[in-house]
Chains A and B, each alone.
Chain A
Amino acid sequence: KAGVTQTPRYLIKTRGQQVTLSCSPISGHRSVSWYQQTPGQGLQFLFEYFSETQRNKGNFPGRFSGRQFSNSRSEMNVSTLELGDSALYLCASSLKGSEQYFGPGTRLTVT
């Protein structure tokens, strides 16, 4: 079975721009979660989608949003980028509960 895939793997954007990241879950997994990893804060939960509905949300500003499509693929959008948004963004899919399977991540650099 193919694992979780994320595109693009690397991205460089300028402050004020917006960005969209994509995630394809493992086949059959309906839950997709997004995490932000930074050196200072570690891995922090952004949000989780299940059957196209956001079920859980972390403590991030409204500039961070997401959606899930009927095929369980998910996108994450960050608007009005700030320097502090530079991070590794990880997507994870799950069939049951907390055992989540992560993709390789998208490295976002904001200049």
Chain B
Amino acid sequence: DQQVKQNSPSLSVQEGRISILNCDYTNSMFDYFLWYKKYPAEGPTFLISISSIKDKNEDGRFTVFLNKSAKHLSLHIVPSQPGDSAVYFCAASQGGGGSNYKLTFGKGTLLTVNP
């Protein structure tokens, strides 16, 4: 049973445009969500997170939106740059993010940003 789903295996966008990566979850106990970026031959790198008490969190070019009623979150990258090309993982945990150290990951979306 996949509790965190990233239904798009890949996404291709032009440099300078917006990239929108989507993630759905089924476990209503999840209350903290994270996005990670992974380059080949490296471990995932933490990008941005959001608590379920918020609906938006922004950090530079990266914004995460959370729609709790739809159990859906998205990562917006504006403007997209070729260096953003990587696999993006959505992850979720329960327990407020401060005390729970178990992450449930989606299978990832390969983002390609074309120059």
Chain A residues in contact with chain B, CB under 8 A? 4, 31, 33, 35, 41-45, 48, 50, 55-56, 58, 90, 92, 94, 96-105
Contact = CB atoms under 8 A, between A and B. Distances in A.
Contacts of A100: 46, 101, 103
Contacts of B99: 97
Interface residues of B, number: 27
B44 A97 contact: no
Interface in B28-50: 32, 34, 36, 41-46, 49
Contacts of B49: 98-99
A97 B91 CA distance: 13
A103 B104 CA distance: 18
A97 B105 contact: no
A56 to B, nearest CB: 5
Contacts, number: 72
Interface of B: 32, 34, 36, 41-46, 49, 89, 91, 93, 95-108
Given A43-B89, A99-B34, A31 B101 contact: yes
A92 B89 CA distance: 15
Nearest to A91: B43
A50 B99 CA distance: 11
Contacts of B100: 56, 97-98
Given A43-B89, A98-B93, A55 B43 contact: no
Nearest to B51: A98
